[in-house]
Amino acid sequence: MKRTREAIDLILKRFLIWRAQNLDTSTFILLVAVVTGLISGLVAVVLKNAAHAVRELVVAERLSDIYQVGYFLFPLIGISIVMVLRHNLKWRMREGIPMALSAIAKDGGIIPRSAMYTSFVGSAFTVGFGGSVGLEGPTVGTGAAIGSNLARWLRLGFKQRILLISCATAGALGSIFGTPIAALVFTLEVFSLDLTLGALVPLLLASATGSLTGLLLSDGTTLFTVSGIGKFEPQFIPQYIGLGLATAIFSVYVKRTHLWSMSLLENVRRPWFRAVSGGLLLGGAIFLIPPLYGEGFSSITAALQGDLAALLDQSFIPWHNQSAWVIIALLLGLALMKSLAAGLTIHAGGVGGMFAPTLFMGAILGLAYVLMLEQFGMDVPSVHFVLVAMAGLMAGVMHAPLTAMFMITEISGGYPLILPLMLVSALSFFVSRSLSPHSIYTAPLAAAGGIWTSDRDKAVLSLIHWDDVLERGIADVEPLLGFDEAVQRLMAEHKNMLAIVEDGRLLGTLTWDDVRRAQRLNQPPLLARDAMSGISYQVDLNSSMEDAVKRVERMDQWYVPVIDKGQWAGFLSKAKLFEVYRRRLREVSQEA
């Protein structure tokens, strides 16, 4: 094993030397982007086939007699398998897109090698056994891990590491959805990348390569079937505006439900009890409402075709011979429950993404909206409004209006609907962001103070860790130490300051300015505490670096006390902060 590793390292070293001698950086990045797009595209194809193979095994004809019971049990089995992988093999599995965002925001784009396969395997079992989530999130997470580690193996810098993560994301999404433009736009919107034209070309190549890989290896099936798209009719603009408001309000519900389900299950401390309780709740919901099973693309097709029987026949509530308002209520209930089912799947321990659930909810919401308009005597083109509702909900939930617009356009071929897609996506995004400022991906990161942003200053600060700037070498003394003894101690220290600490709490500091001021008094102080300067400002170790810097900027001090749960942890050094800031800024700005 050791010899194999040494041989690989030698080959890599020779390759890097050859690359430095024969290829300029920009050309090399283009080639690596193509390779990244190809690999992430293959990952998407393999994961999609693996999940569907598991599902085919689960719903095999020999199991048809117990399949209704299986609706209740299979999701729990899938989550349990993932839990075994988590705890017995110590696999860390996280939601793919939030993981990539967190790595960019906090870890300099470094993603563990294990992430190249853990989410891949976990999502195959989660979705294959009927988890109410999609495959795109784990595909992005796996691709992002491949891009990150490929950049590390090739000794590329921070900026190129982020670029390859973005290339892998674009390639994965392009492959799984067949939407190269939407995949490219998604990386720009969600990752908020500060890219030059030179960096945009590798993204284009990666997205195109991933999409082409998915197309060549596809069996010809589509995610959902769309027919009957006619030309856009401007007289329905007021109805589209109403749809934009409806999708915005519903997107706020989706985001808050996702966070609520996370807090609900995270309060269950025992992982296995969390998995069982969440899996049973999910299984019960799917047993009562079978369309919640799996990704739900067949239900999207049914909504586009206005096929109420395919959506409601298996429900435990009879819908035939009911009024139109009851049917609308049932559809809204289905959309509401899909959000809860997706949250339960993820937070109970499963692995999946929110793209497919969002498209599902958008389609059902759009159909319910069409039926409601019919009750008011308005006959609107159903397929148009269902497609636009899907884009509107995606824009509101993910805060990605351009991605929503291009994705629906590319998947459905609905280019005549570009104007209502633009209108509803923009309106839903604006209203949703006004009511709930963070997307479903960035809300957890925002709570932890780790949002990646195109603002260069904030981006650099997000990469600075407390260990980089915390000064722990300042000696501490007891407040009852004699003044003369404290002066002798100060003379022996390299720093021109002592910390006066009692029971772990910082009471003040003693500097040479304090000593000289004390010595000018008629009666010099007897104890160190009598000469110390009090603490007027302090920052919390658990606060974000951006918040800490804002406080430090208001203080006329080179050393600012830092506390951790009420205990003194050290000093924030302005000199260290400036030095580390400049170093991180160079890392972010360098091209190679």
- The Cα 338–Cα 345 span in angstroms is 10
The neighbouring-strand residues paired with 471 are 571
Q: For residue 369, what are the contacts with CB-CB under 8 A and spacing of at least 6?
A: 242, 243, 246, 385, 389
Q: For residue 102, what are the contacts with CB-CB under 8 A and spacing of at least 6?
A: 94, 445, 450
Asked if 457 and 565 touch (Cβ cutoff 8 Å), the reply is no
Q: What is the 3-state secondary structure (H, E, C) of 418-452?
A: HHHHHHHHHHHHHHHHHHCCCCCCCHHHHHCCCCC
Question: What is the structure's pLDDT at 48?
Answer: 84
Annotate 549-587 with b (16+ C-beta within 10 A) or e (fewer): beebeeeeeebbbbbeeeebbbbbbbebbeebbeebeee
State the DSSP H helix or E strand holding residue 539, giving kind and residue range, or none if neither.
strand 539-540
DSSP conformation letters of 289-303: SGGGSSS-HHHHHHH
Please return the burial class of 520, using the count of CB atoms within 10 Å of its CB with bins 0-12, 13-18 and 19+. Answer: exposed
Q: Which residue has the tokens 């958008």?
A: 362
- The Cα 41–Cα 484 span in angstroms is 72
The reported pTM is 0.78
Asked if 57 and 129 touch (Cβ cutoff 8 Å), the reply is no
8 — phi, psi (to 5°)?
A: -65, -45
DSSP conformation letters of 33-53: HHHHHHHHHHHHHHHHHHHHH
- The Cα 421–Cα 401 span in angstroms is 9
Domains of the chain with CATH codes: 2-216 (1.10.3080.10), 234-448 (1.10.3080.10), 458-589 (3.10.580.10)
The neighbouring-strand residues paired with 533 are 509
Which residue type occupies 280?
L
Strands 567-573 and 470-471: antiparallel
- The Cα 167–Cα 344 span in angstroms is 30
pLDDT digit string (tens) for the chain, length 592 residues: 667 777 777 777 787 777 777 777 788 888 999 999 999 999 888 888 888 787 777 665 444 444 456 667 888 888 888 888 887 777 777 777 778 777 776 777 788 888 888 888 888 888 888 888 888 888 888 888 888 888 888 888 777 888 888 899 899 989 988 889 999 988 888 776 656 666 788 999 999 999 999 888 877 666 777 877 888 888 999 999 999 999 999 999 999 988 888 877 777 778 788 888 888 888 888 878 888 888 888 888 889 888 888 888 766 777 777 788 989 999 999 999 999 988 888 888 888 888 889 999 999 999 999 999 999 988 899 999 999 999 999 999 999 999 999 999 988 887 889 999 999 999 999 999 999 888 888 877 665 555 545 455 666 666 677 777 777 777 787 878 888 887 888 787 777 777 888 777 878 778 787 788 877 776 777 787 777 877 767 777 777 677 777 766 666 666 777 777 777 777 777 777 777 777 766 665 554 4
Asked if 139 and 110 touch (Cβ cutoff 8 Å), the reply is no
Question: What is the structure's pLDDT at 62?
Answer: 43
Asked if 100 and 141 touch (Cβ cutoff 8 Å), the reply is yes
E-state strands within 365-524 = 470-471, 476-477, 497-502, 505-511
